[in-house]
Structure 1
C-alpha cells in the first residue's frame, strides 16, 4: 500500500526541488525517499526506477519552462521576442538549475515527440517568423539559438564568466544584439 500523501505528482515536484538543491545527476529514488523519510521501496509504486524518476522530472521541467516561455512571448515579435525568449530560459536556469539540467536529458523519440520539447521548437520557429527565414535556414537558426542560449547559460552557471571585469549581463545583451543582427541579415528583414 502506498504511503498516505505520496502521489506521483508530489514525488516529481519534490524530485525537481531536490534537483535544484543537489543537482540533477544526484537525484535518485533513494535520495527522494530520504526526503520523505520513507524506504525507497515505498516509492516504487509511483516510479519504476531512478531513470523513470529523472525522465518524469525532465517532462515536468520541459512543460514548466514551455509555459514560462509561452507567457513571455505573447504579443512579441522580432528582437523583442528574441530577448524575451532568451531571458525566460536564462531566468529559469538561474532559478531552477537542476530542472534546467533535466531539460537536456535525452528522451527516446516517442517520448520526446509527446513532450513539451515540441512546444519549445514551435515557439522558436514562431519567434523566427519575423526574420523571414526559409528552410533550411530556419532549421539552422533554431539550432543556433538553442546552442547559443544553452551554451551561454551553462557556462555562466558554471562560473565561466566570473574571471573578467566585464559583466556577463553586458555580454548577454551584446550576444542578443548580435543574434538579432545576424538573423535580420540572413532573412533580409
Structure 2
C-alpha cells in the first residue's frame, strides 16, 4: 500500500466516522496506515492541514452525493431527494460531516467547495424562477433544515419511537409547500 495524501485523508475520514472527530490525531492516522507519524508530513501539513483536507473532502463528497440524488429529477422531487440524501450522508459519515463544520469560511479552497454545494441547490431552484436573493434565502433555509435535523439526530435528540424518516419527509414537504406559497404571493 502506497501512502499518499488521498489515502491519508480517506483514512482520517474513516476513523472520524468510526470514533468521532476528536479521535483524529496524527499518531492515530499513522498507526492505522502502519507508518511513523513524521512520515505523514510528506503528505499533509500537520493536523491543521489534515483537518482542512478532511473539510474539503467532506464537502466534496456531500456535494457529489447530493448531485447524484438530483439526477433525473427536478423541482419538488429534486429538493426532496437532495434533503433525504443530505441526512443519509450525515448518518453514514458523521465524523466526516462534523469535519466540514468548523471549516474556516475564509479559506479560499473551502469556500470554493462550499460554493459548489450552494450552486447545486441554486440550479435546482431555477425551475421556480426566483429572484437571486430569494433563492439564496431558500438555500440557507433548506441547509438549516437538513443540518438541524441531522445534528439533532446525531446528538440523540429524537428520543420518541416515531419514524425519523417520516418526520424528515414531512419536514421537507412542509418546506416545499412553503416554497410554493412564496411563489403565489
Question: Quick check: TM above 0.5?
Answer: yes
Alignment-derived partner of residue 183 in structure 2: 187
Contact persistence 1:28–1:53 (CA under 8 A): no
Q: Distance in 1 between matches of 2:125 and 2:55?
A: 26
Of the structure 1 ranges 6-15 and 132-141, higher mean CA displacement relative to structure 2 is found in: 132-141
Q: How big is each residue's C-alpha offset from its partner over 1:109-157, in whole Å with a ceiling of 9 and x where there is no partner?
A: 4123432x22210111112223332132211111111111100011012
Say whether 1:168 aligns with 2:164: yes
**Equivalent residues in 2 for 1:65-84, closer than 5 Å:** 65-84=62-81
Q: Which runs of 5+ in 2 are unaligned?
A: none
Of the structure 1 ranges 100-109 and 9-18, higher mean CA displacement relative to structure 2 is found in: 100-109
How has the CA–CA distance of structure 1 residues 40 and 167 changed in structure 2, closer, same or farther, with 3 Å as cutoff? same
Aligned-residue RMSD, C-alpha: 1.7
How has the CA–CA distance of structure 1 residues 113 and 157 changed in structure 2, closer, same or farther, with 3 Å as cutoff? closer
Q: Distance in 2 between matches of 1:102 and 1:187?
A: 36
Of 2, 14, 18 in structure 2, the residue corresponding to residue 5 of structure 1 is 2
Alignment-derived partner of residue 140 in structure 2: 143
Alignment-derived partner of residue 31 in structure 1: 28
TM-score, reference length from structure 2: 0.91
| 1:101 positional shift | 1.2
Q: How big is each residue's C-alpha offset from its partner over 1:36-76, in whole Å with a ceiling of 9 and x where there is no partner?
A: 23321111111111111011111111111211211121221
May I ask how many residue pairs the two structures share in their alignment?
184
State the 4+ residue runs in structure 1 displaced beyond 4 angstroms: none
Q: Which runs of 5+ in 1 are unaligned?
A: none
| 1:82 positional shift | 0.9
Of 79, 91, 94 in structure 2, the residue corresponding to residue 94 of structure 1 is 91
TM-score, reference length from structure 1: 0.90
